[in-house]
Amino acid sequence: MLRNDRSLGIRTDLLFHRFDGQVIERADYLVIRTPTNPGFFFGNLLIFSAPPTPQDAIAWPALCRQVDFTVTERHHAAFRRDPKRPTDTNRPKA
């Protein structure tokens, strides 16, 4: 079971990714894979909690090789950040 402390947009997207793919939670990121649909553009997706740093330009592509993404003729991976955490102060007031 995935943590429920993700933004609403991420949680909504994960509902669909779970139906047609794999959602794997790691300590600092999520891995989304869709091996049964390798042409899906967001089928090779990493979602991070923290914003990227200059070092991530090297680290994130290397991480894609470690998580064994399905490689298609596009040879791509997508990166996304979950910008809104429950501890954010910019949350709308009820």
36, part of any domain: yes
Round to whole Å and give the CA distance between 30 and 39.
20
Burial of 55 (0-12, 13-18, 19+ CB in 10 A): exposed
- Cα–Cα dist 40/43, whole Å: 5
Residue at 2 is within a domain: no
Q: 1 lies in a domain? A: no
pLDDT of residue 93: 53
Query: Cα separation of 59 and 87, whole Å?
Result: 27
Q: Is 89 a domain residue?
A: no
**Residue 65 covered by a domain:** yes
Number of domains comprising the chain: 1
Q: Is residue 33 part of a domain?
A: yes
Q: Taking the complete model, does pTM exceed 0.85, yes or no?
A: no
Query: 66 or 92, which is more confident?
Result: 66
Domain of 41, in residue numbers: 8-81
Instruction: Give 7-32 as a DSSP string.
Output: -HHHHHHHHHHHHHSEEEE-SSEEEE
